[in-house]
């Protein structure tokens, strides 16, 4: 696939999705997210042999939101290995409406590490093993993205914390079931800071390139073992897009993870990672133009893991 003209494909896609940029709604549950200029778009590919391609607003930075959950899980797996699965499951969650319903029914064990409850409990685990969780997380992104200037958007983090009550409910519910070790508010503060890390699409695709590279970073260092990396990709495939994982797999055919800032990261194992960003969301909380762009990429390159 090395002769593929990725740049041309990304340029085409960027043109084709223009009509979609005005569809959907920017996340507005916190003021800091609602302020973004809504019709932006960027898409970047980072290949396992180190090439980068980008089209659209390549320099624009955004908070990565739930895409940070993949790094949280990665850091937790480094420290806990399979022991982590005693505290969080590996199954798709089924329905959105019932985050707390399901968590109550399943006695405080979240379904998977990518729904909020699951990411928060993974944060709690990580929090217990890191002396400076926010510093460690920032350093991971700085090293993997190759940009030592990566920062946290504190305005977004503060705003998320102020409106934390649904997430706080999940934390306290897990604590009532004995599946939470630190103070709920402390862990939430770390969690919201992780979500508020700012990257552009090029940096995002590069930071997560180990997912496409059998778990190895650009220097060949092992971030995860090859086996863990396959497992993580499998979890992304079954649970990475909330209640739209089945449809995303059906249309795009790659593991992926979305965030409410309108970004989606997807992985073509052994080939590349691709990051897309367009702030307007569909009813599932996924980027309208982002999903369309990835679907086109899948069709144009005739790629799929199947």
Which one, 56 or 285, has the nearer CB to a copy of itself?
285
Report the residue number, 194 or 237, with the smaller CB distance to a copy of itself.
237
| Residue 116 among known ligand-binding residues | yes
Report the nearest approach of a copy of itself to the CB of residue 267 (Å): 8
Residue 252 among known ligand-binding residues = no
Is 167 annotated to bind a ligand? Reply is yes
Residue 189 CB, nearest distance to a copy of itself (Å)?
Answer: 15
260 is in an annotated binding site: yes
Q: Is 66 annotated as a binding residue?
A: yes
What's the closest the beta carbon of residue 275 comes to a copy of itself, in angstroms? Answer: 18
State which residue, 29 or 59, has the beta carbon closest to a copy of itself. 29
Q: Which is nearer to a copy of itself, 202 or 223 (CB)?
A: 223
Beta carbon nearer to a copy of itself, 51 or 304: 304
DSSP per position, the chain: -TT--HHHHHHHHHHHTGGGGGSSB---SSHHHHTS-TT--EEEEEETTS-EEEEESTT--EE-GGGHHHHHHHHHHHHHGGGGGGTS--S----STTHHHHHHHTTT--S-TTSHHHHHHHHHHHHHH-SSHHHHHHHHHHHHHT-TT--B-HHHHHHHHHT-HHHHHHHHHHHHTT---S-HHHHHHHHHHHHTBEE-HHHHHHHTGGGTTTTB-TTS-BSS-HHHHHHHHHHHHHHTTGGGHHHHHHHH-S-EEEETTTEEEEEETTTEEEEEE---B-TTSSBHHHHHHHHHHHHHTT----
For the chain, the maximum distance between any two Cα atoms, rounded to a whole number of angstroms, is 56
List residues binding a copy of itself (CB under 8 A): 89-95, 97-105, 111-112, 163-166, 168-173, 175-176, 180, 184, 229-231, 233-235, 237-239, 243-247, 249-250, 253, 255, 267, 269, 304-306
Q: Give the whole-angstrom CA distance, residue 48 versus residue 27.
A: 32
What minimum distance in Å lies between the beta carbon of 39 and a copy of itself?
A: 29
Is 91 annotated to bind a ligand? Reply is no
Q: Which is nearer to a copy of itself, 22 or 270 (CB)?
A: 270
Smallest distance from a copy of itself to CB 91, Å? 4
Q: Is 160 annotated as a binding residue?
A: yes
Residues that constitute the known binding site for substrate: 66, 116, 160, 167, 191, 242, 260
Residues that constitute the known binding site: 66, 116, 160, 167, 191, 242, 260
């Amino acid at each position: 696939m090395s002769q593929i003209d990725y740049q041309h494909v990304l340029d085409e896609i960027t043109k084709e999705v223009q009509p979609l940029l005005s569809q959907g709604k920017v996340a507005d549950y916190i003021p800091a997210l609602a302020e973004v200029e809504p019709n932006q778009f960027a898409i970047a590919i980072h290949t396992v042999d180190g090439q980068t391609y980008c089209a659209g607003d390549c320099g624009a930075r955004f908070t990565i939101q739930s895409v940070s959950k993949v790094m949280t899980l990665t850091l937790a797996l480094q420290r806990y290995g399979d022991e982590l699965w005693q505290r969080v499951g590996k199954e798709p969650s089924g329905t959105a409406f019932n985050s707390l319903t399901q968590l109550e029914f399943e006695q405080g064990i979240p379904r998977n590490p990518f729904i909020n409850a699951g990411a928060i409990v993974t944060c709690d685990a990580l929090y217990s093993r890191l002396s400076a969780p926010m510093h460690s997380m920032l350093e991971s992104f700085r090293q993997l993205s190759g940009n030592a200037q990566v920062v946290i958007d504190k305005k977004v983090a503060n705003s998320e914390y102020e409106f934390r009550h649904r997430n706080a409910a999940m934390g306290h519910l897990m604590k009532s079931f004995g599946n939470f070790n630190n103070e709920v508010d402390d862990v939430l503060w770390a969690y919201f800071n992780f979500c508020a890390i700012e990257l552009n699409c090029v940096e995002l695709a590069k930071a997560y390139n180990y997912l496409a590279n059998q778990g190895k970073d650009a220097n060949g260092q092992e971030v995860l073992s090859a086996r863990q990396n396959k497992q993580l990709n499998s979890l992304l495939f079954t649970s990475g897009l909330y209640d739209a994982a089945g449809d995303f797999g059906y249309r795009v055919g790659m593991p992926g993870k979305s965030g409410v800032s309108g970004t989606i990261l997807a992985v073509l194992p052994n080939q590349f990672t691709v990051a897309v960003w367009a702030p307007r969301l569909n009813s599932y909380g996924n980027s309208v133009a982002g999903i369309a762009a990835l679907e086109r990429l899948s069709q144009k390159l005739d790629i799929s893991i199947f």
